Amino acid sequence: SQQGEEDPQALSIQEGENATMNCSYKTSINNLQWYRQNSGRGLVHLILIRSNEREKHSGRLRVTLDTSKKSSSLLITASRAADTASYFCAPHTGRRALTFGSGTRLQVQP
């Protein structure tokens, strides 16, 4: 398995602004997943994008995938204080285990 590298490591924005997080990885993937972790809690799956997809939406979340650049981005629109959390990407190579990078710590100021 391989892990993704999230960028930036930390992001602070005002409520209502958009938040963009990026993920880079190194080898071919079957899909890429994004997870959120609130402080003191387990990870929660947000969205999965397959290698043959370029963009996917879920509510206020928009994920893009560029397999030629081996990168993905997560956009949260109209952020809320409740979006404050760490966000992790997990490139999936087809094996059963995901590995995670250090994540992006998002702080949304009310």
Partner 1 sequence: DAGVIQSPRHEVTEMGQEVTLRCKPISGHNSLFWYRQTMMRGLELLIYFNNNVPIDDSGMPEDRFSAKMPNASFSTLKIQPSEPRDSAVYFCASSSSGQETQYFGPGTRLLVL
State in angstroms the smallest separation of the CB of 85 from partner 1. 13
Binding site for partner 1 (CB under 8 A): 1, 30-31, 33, 41-45, 48, 88, 92, 95-103
Residues in the chain: 110
Contact 87, 21 (CB under 8 A): yes
Min dist CB 83 to partner 1, Å, is 18
Question: Which one, 50 or 109, has the nearer CB to partner 1?
Answer: 50
Cα R_g (the chain), whole angstroms: 13
Strand 19-24 relative to strand 31-37: parallel, antiparallel, unpaired? unpaired
Q: Which is closer to partner 1, CB of 2 or CB of 15?
A: 2
**Residue (of 104, 55, 99, 45) closest to 79 by Cα position:** 104
- Cβ distance to partner 1 smaller for residue 2 or 22: 2
Q: How far is the CB of 80 from partner 1 (least distance, A)?
A: 22
